[in-house]
Structure 1
Amino acid sequence: MGRTALVIGATRGIGAATARGLLSTGYRTAGTHRAGGTVPEGVLPVEMDVRDGESIASGVKAAAAELGGLDVLVVAAGITRDKLLMRMGEEDLTEVMQVNAIGPMLACKAALAPMMRQRRGSIVLVSSMSVKYGVVGQCNYTASKGALEAFARSMAREYAARNIRVNVVAPGATDTDMMADVAEEARMAMLEGIPLGRLATAEEIASAIIHTAENTYMSGATVQVSGGI
């Protein structure tokens, strides 16, 4: 059947670029979308809501069945609800944690069944460099991405004996729709702190994700793709 991959969050940005990259590399690729969303051409569309555990489980199962297995899982779904902590409502905390951390964890759990049957698999979770240095107004976002990194290290240890590898890619500032929402003043300050002096492209981050997914001796690692920060 060849190599197979599922990208969760494949409608835009880093997720869409990763799905296109996997497809061009020779993977039979599925990508998730919420109702009304679209995935890149040639990618098998799978409807999924990462806020709902049943939707995650059924979506991963359906993708693995349609693809004929699951060699690679990439979780790129993510949202922000930026504001100072004292102004955050409970929903700002719980929704970000659900989409950015709990949903990806449930997706990894669902991927274990097909990967354990194959006795191989590679999972890459997309975190953020903001975990390393903190960002004003993003206590919820950085906490959710930091949780992914800790989760990946433990999962990597649990399933290494089954030849299932789990890694994290932590992008720096990337030119995506999410970045377009950042105020111009904050964007310029961000650029000043990047030694390479520019934002990453989604394709540059996708390249690192695919390399990490395919490196057969890498597990439990966080790969920083930051322009030199």
Structure 2
Amino acid sequence: MTSTDTTSAAVGRVAVVTGGSRGIGRAVSHRLSSDGWAVVVNYVADAAAAEETVAALTAAGGTALAVQADVADENAVAALFDQTEAAFGGVDVVVNAAGRLALSPIAELDLNVLDQLHRTNVRGAFVVAQLAAQRLRAGGSLVGFSSSVVGTQFPDYGAYAASKGAIEAMTLILARELRGRDITVNTVAPGPTATELFLEDKTEEQVESLAKAPPLERLGTPEDIAAVVAFLTSAEGRWVNGQILRANGGMV
């Protein structure tokens, strides 16, 4: 099923993965699809990557749909949910993997860059959480994404860590606000993970240093993080609610 197929087809469990065509989001899309979920792969600009992801999921026997939406645009996100419900009958899981990274000392950061970062990472996370709270079916889950840099507090990550700290602050509040709905809300905070975005503009020495930081002495993989999301959205993860899970191999 492609992004142009709007045929209604009630299926079993349905997941929306924002930023689902690249990096950790793509790994999450693959893992949930392999676990039997129908997956809506959200993207903001790279339609080719989204359609490539959908093609891979369907080739492996899954059911998938690519839908464009800017997570910071509430009307676009509402349309994303509308298309999901029209195609599959409802929404059971929302994984908000969409995000933006900008590195700079706080004293030197261009405030326009700060605004763009926070538009996606803070406003976008809030918009997705708000629509998920309105649209998720009973028994559903919302999984957000923070970063372990909120705890490690590396230099140059000030703006990024601040944006991710906002997501952590919302997590337990929303879980409590959804009392009685049988919906869990959790946030995954990965450590250094070998994605294209993470590796970009880093020297071999920087990558090696970060890989040695956890006691397990390696970078995380997107599949490591996808496994955590799969647990949180499974029946086995139902008693975990309102939590920040630092999936980082033993870093602070």
TM range (shorter): over 0.9
Which letter does structure 1 place at the counterpart of 2:172? R
Q: How does 1:50-69 map to 2 (within 5 A)?
A: 50-69=71-90
What is the one-letter code of the residue matched to 2:246?
Q
- Structure 2 partner of 1:135: 154
Q: Answer yes or no: is the 8 Å Cα contact 1:22–1:29 preserved in 2.
A: yes
Structure 1: 5+ residue runs without aligned partners? none
Q: Which deviations, in whole Å up to 9, do the C-alpha atoms of 1:188-229 show, x marking residues without a partner? A: 321231211111110111011110122111110111111121
Counterpart of 1:2 in structure 2 is 12
Whole-Å separation in 2 of the counterparts to 1:120 and 1:114? 12
> In structure 1, how many angstroms separate the alpha carbons of the residues matched to 2:135 and 2:123?
20
1:34 aligns with 2:67: no
1:135-154 correspondence runs (5 A): 135-154=154-173
Q: 1:114 to 1:52 in 2, by over 3 A?
A: closer
Q: CA deviation at 1:182?
A: 4.3
Matched letter for residue 210 of structure 1: A
Normalised to the residue count of structure 2, the TM-score between the two structures is 0.86
Asked if 1:178 is matched to 2:197, the reply is yes
2-structure distance, mates of 1:130, 1:50 = 22
Q: Distance in 1 between matches of 2:138 and 2:212?
A: 46
The aligned length equals: 227
Runs of 4 or more, structure 1, over 6 Å off, are none
1:161-172 equivalences under 5 Å are 161-172=180-191
C-alpha distance in structure 1 between counterparts of 2:45 and 2:249, whole Å: 35
Residue equivalent to 1:103: 124
- Aligned partners of 1:94 and 1:135: how far apart in 2? 21
Instruction: Please tell me whether the aligned partners of residues 33 and 48 of structure 1 are also in contact (alpha carbons under 8 angstroms).
Output: yes
Distance 1:205 1:174 in 2: 9
Unaligned runs of 5+ in 2: 1-10, 59-63
* Percent of aligned pairs with the same amino acid: 32
Alpha-carbon RMSD across the aligned residues, in angstroms, is 1.4
Aligned-partner Cα distance in 1 for 2:195–2:103: 16
Q: Which moved more, 1:92-101 or 1:149-158?
A: 92-101
Q: Give the Å deviation of 1:83.
A: 0.8
- In 2: Cα distance, 1:119 partner to 1:201 partner: 31
TM-score of the aligned structures, taking structure 1 as reference length: 0.94
| 1:22 maps onto 2:32 in alignment | yes
